[in-house]
Amino acid sequence: MQAAWIALCFVAWSSGPVDTAPAVPAPGQVRAAFLKMLDRPKVPADPWVGERKMNADGTILEHVVISTEKKRGGGVERVPMTILHPAAAAGRKPTVIVLHGTGGSKDGNRERETMARLAAKGIMAVAIDARYHGERVAGAKGAEAYNAAILAAWRAKPAEQEHPFYYDTVWDLWRTVDYLQSRRDVDPQRLGMIGFSMGGIETWLAASADDRIKVVVPAIGVQSFRYSLEHEQWQGRARTIALAHEAAAKDLGEPAVNARVCRALWTKVIPGILDRFDCPSMLRLMAPRPLLILSGEEDPNCPIGGARVAYQSAEAAYRAASAGDKLKILVAPKVGHKVTDDQLQAAVAWFVSWLKP
């Protein structure tokens, strides 16, 4: 049954014309440029380990906070995470980082469910709060603080600008990998990452440039920002952080959010996302590591036409690396911005297949 479903999904995404992605630098140049752009002075992780709670199923839930960089106004940026240990598992374990979507947190229902399914298969699961989400905001609800931070970055002078729209969380993910590799219960050669929506975008951005992340699953996050602008399909992405886009429209003298507003905002706040750091360019950097892409055929936030451009780029890279068996693309027919239960099962099976001995 599942094999038939996967075959149906393959037909859904591969049929029809595919736009050609713009010319971009070679993968090595892209990786070096991305690492350089996000680089900043490191600070010691200085982990604070909180309470370890035993669950009824024998798993252990641990709360940890680490430092990742100095803040502009003083102090350090702290990243809270929860770690779910498999029951009765000793020694160094395969470990998967789980990332939430816009307005969510590490403690969301989908994140807890994903972690539980991984732990049931003997894989340690780690969920973090992205910048301006979860425990990293005080009093703000949903994506309120995230919107405010993106708007502040839009209006800031370049030398004083943060990059809360994906990039700063990517830096936190790289530092999270540093910390996990220092733990005695983590196998540093068996690290994976899965993210949903915003977290899916952060997954392909972070993992593309960091080959310490061995197995990668971006869920409802693969798209092309450039494609969405060129084909008037930017609306879904703009709605995810509507307040920042609406304020940028006013600043630009536009009566409403439009492609010009999106282009200006994205270029300032996520530089390079319309060309060399767009998904079709970055996915090439994954090969030959195992990569499973989960998409919805009718996803308004990640239009399938732009996703196909990214799929095509990934396929070419995996063919060149003779690693076609390490790339799988599952598109759920007639599904919007949602991960189906079948897709989540496939993701867990993917991690088991490539991370378990």
In the predicted structure, residue 23 carries a pLDDT above the cut 80? no
pLDDT band at 306 (very low <50, low <70, confident <90, very high): very high
Q: Global pTM?
A: 0.93
Residue 115 has a CB neighbour count (10 Å cut-off) of 24
Mean pLDDT (the chain, rounded): 93
pLDDT tier, 19 (very low <50, low <70, confident <90, very high otherwise) = low
pLDDT 10s digits, 99-135: 999 999 999 999 999 999 999 999 999 999 999 999 9
In this prediction, residue 24 has a pLDDT band, given cuts at 50, 70 and 90, of confident
> pLDDT, tens digit, for every residue of 240-266?
999 999 999 999 999 999 999 999 999
Instruction: Return the ∠ at Cα 204 (arms to 115 and 278), rounded to 5°.
Output: 155
- For the chain, how many residues are written? 357
Whether the CB-CB separation of 280 and 312 falls below 8 Å is answered with: yes
Closest by Cα among 215, 224, 225, 227 to 269? 225
CA angle 254–257–262, rounded 5-degree value: 105
Q: At what angle do helices 27-38 and 167-182 cross, to 10 degrees?
A: 90
Q: What is the pLDDT of residue 8?
A: 35
Q: Is the pLDDT of residue 16 over 60?
A: no
Residue 11 — very low, low, confident or very high, per pLDDT cuts 50/70/90?
very low
